[in-house]
Amino acid sequence: MDSLVHNQDLRRHNSFGFAACAANFMRVETLEQLQGAVAQARHNSWPVLVLGGGSNLVLREQIPGLVIQMAIGGRRVESVSEDKVRVTLGAGEIWHQSLEWMLEQGYYGLENLALIPGTVGAAPIQNIGAYGVELEQRFDSLLALDTDSGDLRRFNRDDCRFGYRDSCFKSHEPGRYVILEVSFALSLIPNLVLRYQALADELKARGIEQPQPSDVFDVVCAIRQQKLPDPAELGNAGSFFKNPLVSADRYRDLLQQFPNLVAYPADDAYKLAAGWLIEQCGWKGRCIGAVGVYSRQALVLVNQGSGTATELMLLAGQVVDSVQLRFGVVLEMEPRLYPA
């Protein structure tokens, strides 16, 4: 296999900027190349990591086996009926660029997910979400290669078992399926989701009374640029912890003890703002060596440059311990640590 690279430096392939070294690395642009890479890994008994943009990964220094960089592209319209359109995107397409293209075509529904880094193929893995929209709401189906059997399998929404920052691909059988393409059910008529307060506030501040999807897209980009560090300048993976879900009873108990508790109703439970919990424990802006908690948003852990996954995981462990001690709530990490 001529495009197999040994000892590939992955610093530029992960948004934390960790200096990880892949024992073997291959970029795949076609299904045939992917099948060849998977066969080679099986032949050598190599573990496989499929890499998109590396924006939801904590990579350790040595990555054994094979890293496959997903670069299968393509965009096509499957069907148009009345006000609906179904589009399919290759897993290696860049998420944000794909959204720009959708907006240009007049295909609406994903504007709230603008500027999330990474690829289309990784988006279903944790059912990406932001500003009141989750991928599953606009999801139609996906096509994946089963690395166990070598077969192609189509997953509909129920098959994916989507949850909050979760799917079967993330928590049930991680690594078994390589996503090849994702189909979305979009609308030809704007159907804006504006219930997120920051979004409504920014539209108002801009004097936009009847927003169009492009306004929502622009405003989401602007808010994200203000709130989150740019990985090109400061290594990070966005939110490092999920917002913990607690029952309504537990929420009321906590609220009695901590009247300023920040939480959002989620069906019959409550989602606690993990950033607020971490900030209350005094972590915001604190660094341990080259890793730290972002000074403007405590939910984001950062690498100042020379940090390592080991240092980051130590810091994360201390954050988890202090939140548990103070609030009795266990934070769960959002990105994938590899190797675990």
Q: Does residue 121 belong to the site contacting ligand FAD (CB under 6 A)?
A: yes
Active site residue 250: no
Tally of CB atoms within 10 A around 267 = 8
Q: Does residue 199 belong to the site contacting ligand FAD (CB under 6 A)?
A: no
Nearest by Cα to 119 from 147, 90, 142, 145: 90
Site for ligand FAD in 296-335 (CB under 6 A): none
Q: Does residue 87 belong to the site contacting ligand FAD (CB under 6 A)?
A: no
Q: Does residue 235 belong to the site contacting ligand FAD (CB under 6 A)?
A: no
> Minimal distance in Å, beta carbon 337 to ligand FAD?
10
Site for ligand FAD in 10-69 (CB under 6 A): 15, 49-57
Q: With respect to ligand FAD, which residue has the nearer C-beta, 15 or 280?
A: 15
> Minimal distance in Å, beta carbon 21 to ligand FAD?
17
> Minimal distance in Å, beta carbon 260 to ligand FAD?
24
Q: With respect to ligand FAD, which residue has the nearer C-beta, 70 or 263?
A: 70
User: Which position among 15, 98, 141, 239 bears the catalytic label?
Assistant: 239
φ, ψ (nearest 5 deg) of residue 88 = -120, 135
Sheet arrangement for strand 263-266: 245-247, 269-272, 263-266
Q: What is the distance between the alpha carbons of residues 86 and 105, in angstroms, rounded to a whole number?
A: 12
How many chain residues interact with ligand FAD (CB under 6 A)?
Answer: 32
Query: Tokens at residue 46, please?
Result: 């190599």
Q: Does residue 237 belong to the site contacting ligand FAD (CB under 6 A)?
A: yes
Q: With respect to ligand FAD, which residue has the nearer C-beta, 254 or 300?
A: 300
- CB 85, CB 79: distance < 8 Å: yes
Give CA separation, 337 vs 47, 59, 174, 257, in Å.
Answer: 14, 6, 12, 34
- Contact letters for ligand FAD, residues 246-285 (x by CB under 6 A): ----------------------------------------
Instruction: Identify the residue among 28, 58, 63, 70 touching ligand FAD (CB under 6 A).
Output: 70
Active site residue 32: no
Q: Does residue 236 belong to the site contacting ligand FAD (CB under 6 A)?
A: yes
Give CA separation, 151 vs 7, 241, 278, in Å.
Answer: 30, 34, 44
Instruction: Identify the residue among 87, 99, 133, 179 touching ligand FAD (CB under 6 A).
Output: 179
Q: With respect to ligand FAD, which residue has the nearer C-beta, 88 or 119?
A: 119
Active site residue 176: no
DSSP string of 204-223, one letter each residue:
HHTT-SS--HHHHHHHHHHH
* Pairing mode, strands 62-70 and 48-51: parallel
Site for ligand FAD in 124-143 (CB under 6 A): 125-126, 128-130
Give CA separation, 51 vs 25, 39, 58, in Å.
Answer: 10, 17, 12
Q: Which stretch binds ligand FAD (CB under 6 A): 20-28, 32-40, 151-159, 228-236?
A: 228-236
User: Which position among 55, 165, 167, 183 bears the catalytic label?
Assistant: 165
Q: What is the distance between the alpha carbons of residues 172 and 129, in angstroms, rounded to a whole number?
A: 20
Site for ligand FAD in 139-178 (CB under 6 A): 178
- CB 294, CB 301: distance < 8 Å: yes
Query: Tokens at residue 178, please?
Result: 């390589």
Q: What angle in degrees, to the nearest 10, is found between the helix axes of 213-227 and 197-205? A: 110
Instruction: State the residues that interact with ligand FAD by CB under 6 A.
Output: 15, 49-57, 70, 91, 116-119, 121-123, 125-126, 128-130, 178-179, 228, 231, 236-238, 336
* Residues annotated as part of the active site: 165, 239, 334
